[in-house]
């Protein structure tokens, strides 16, 4: 078992525990916070949530279980409203604890509820997808979808995130592939050992304890260094400027869209910094089973419009995370010619 700690200055604000068979750790951590716990889950994680609730009850805690709609449908204001009512009926106070058990969608909505119910109650997450374990559960961003994805959210750190490798080992293939996209993203910007692990082994056979610990270590270091999101944290968006636009335009999954976004950012990097790792990136995506091109008829103008409305756009124009070389990211304003190169590389030509 390994602990990672996010600091704000010198003060620990959030802990990430990566290990196996974490049930008693979860129960003991909850005992230290409150006597009353709400366990939020989704149909896919309900059984696991109930096991956690049983463990909590066995140490004397009063528990309320609530199941949300599956996947992204949980990130909805009506669902949040329902949860507020469940907490209110259970007479939840500001001292009581909310534990979210699920993937990134579930942890995003759990954090949103924890940050807003009674102006803030403590939260813990149990990350049950690889993507949540390596990325979504860490860093304090929460969100629900209004017209746009994550249009409403609050910054709030869970006290503890638990990532149980025994659970991640049982994930279906497609969820291991989704999570691999964010793990290798973390690798390309900061830790090539993650990339090498995926290069050396099949995506279903890779050592997830190693992958999660390495990825978490990078994200924790970047978030600690840039706690208030002034700059460096932007490197975590490698592949996301084009990726988000493709995700919205195509309805493709986040991991697939981000893989295409990294191919695109790789081409832009080549044009701007002379980066020459594009071939290695694309080869790895092929091996993992992630796409490297858009193969449906998405309109390039729509992708451009979505990129232009991207939240990361600032007054100096469109910015992208580029690589000088693997492990050396830079955030750069890009001109139109570079954007054209980036889109062209993934099959988005006018």
Tell me which residues touch ligand NAD (CB under 6 A). Answer: 42, 44-45, 70-72, 75, 102-106, 108, 128-129, 131-132, 135-136, 139, 141, 150, 167, 171, 175, 178, 254
- Of 136 and 197, the one with the shorter C-beta distance to ligand NAD is 136
Cα separation, 110 vs 100, whole angstroms: 6
Alpha-carbon distance values, 322 to 4, 62, 168, 185, 278 (Å)? 27, 49, 30, 12, 12
Please, what sign has the CA dihedral across residues 230, 274, 254, 333?
A: positive
Q: How far is the CB of 71 from ligand NAD (least distance, A)?
A: 4
Residue of minimal Cβ distance to ligand NAD:
104
| Triad 75, 256, 343: Cα angle to 5° | 110
Query: How far, in Å, CA of 142 to CA of 152, rounded?
Result: 8
Helices (H), the chain: 23-31, 46-58, 77-89, 104-116, 130-131, 165-169, 173-190, 192-200, 208-225, 240-250, 254-273, 278-288, 300-308, 336-344
Q: How far is the CB of 18 from ligand NAD (least distance, A)?
A: 15
Work out how close the CB of 244 gets to ligand NAD at its nearest, in angstroms, rounded to a whole number: 10
Residue 33 CB, nearest approach to ligand NAD (Å) = 22
Shortest CB 108 distance to ligand NAD, Å:
5
Residue with smaller CB distance to ligand NAD, 131 or 348: 131
Q: Which is nearer to ligand NAD, 105 or 303 (CB)?
A: 105
Which is nearer to ligand NAD, 103 or 187 (by Cβ)?
103
Task: Write down the least CB distance from residue 137 to ligand NAD, Å.
Answer: 7
Whether 188 contacts 323, CB under 8 Å? yes
CB closer to ligand NAD out of 128 and 159: 128
Taking the least distance from each CB to ligand NAD, the nearer of 45 and 338 is 45
């Amino acid at each position: 078992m390994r602990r990672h700690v996010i600091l704000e200055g010198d003060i620990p604000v959030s802990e990430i525990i990566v290990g196996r068979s974490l049930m008693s750790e979860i129960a003991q951590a909850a005992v230290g916070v409150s006597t009353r716990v709400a366990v939020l889950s989704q149909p896919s994680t309900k059984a696991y949530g109930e096991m956690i609730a049983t463990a909590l009850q066995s140490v004397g805690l009063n528990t309320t279980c609530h199941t949300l709609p599956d996947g992204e449908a949980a990130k909805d204001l009506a669902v949040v409203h329902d949860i507020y009512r469940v907490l209110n009926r259970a007479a939840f106070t500001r001292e009581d604890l909310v534990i979210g058990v699920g993937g990134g969608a579930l942890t995003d909505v759990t954090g949103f509820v924890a940050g807003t119910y009674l102006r803030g109650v403590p939260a813990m997450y149990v990350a049950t997808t690889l993507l949540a374990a390596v990325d979504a559960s860490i860093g304090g961003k929460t969100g629900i979808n209004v017209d746009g994805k994550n249009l409403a959210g609050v910054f709030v750190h869970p006290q503890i995130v638990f990532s149980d490798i025994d659970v991640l080992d049982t994930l279906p293939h497609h969820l291991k592939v989704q999570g691999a996209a964010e793990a290798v993203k973390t690798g390309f910007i900061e830790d090539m050992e993650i990339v090498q692990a995926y290069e050396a082994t099949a995506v279903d056979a890779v050592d997830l304890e190693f992958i999660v610990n390495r990825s978490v270590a990078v994200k924790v270091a970047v978030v600690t260094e840039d706690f208030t999101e002034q700059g460096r944290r932007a490197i975590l968006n490698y592949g996301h400027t084009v990726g988000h636009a493709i995700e919205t335009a195509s309805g493709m999954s986040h991991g697939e869209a981000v893989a295409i976004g990294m191919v695109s950012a790789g081409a832009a990097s080549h044009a701007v910094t002379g980066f020459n790792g594009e071939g290695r990136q694309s080869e790895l995506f092929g091996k993992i089973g992630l796409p490297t091109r858009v193969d449906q008829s998405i309109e390039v103008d729509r992708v451009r419009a979505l990129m232009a409305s991207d939240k990361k756009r600032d007054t100096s124009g469109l910015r992208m995370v580029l690589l000088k070389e693997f492990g050396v990211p830079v955030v750069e304003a890009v001109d139109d010619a570079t954007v054209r190169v980036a889109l062209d590389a993934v099959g988005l030509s006018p």
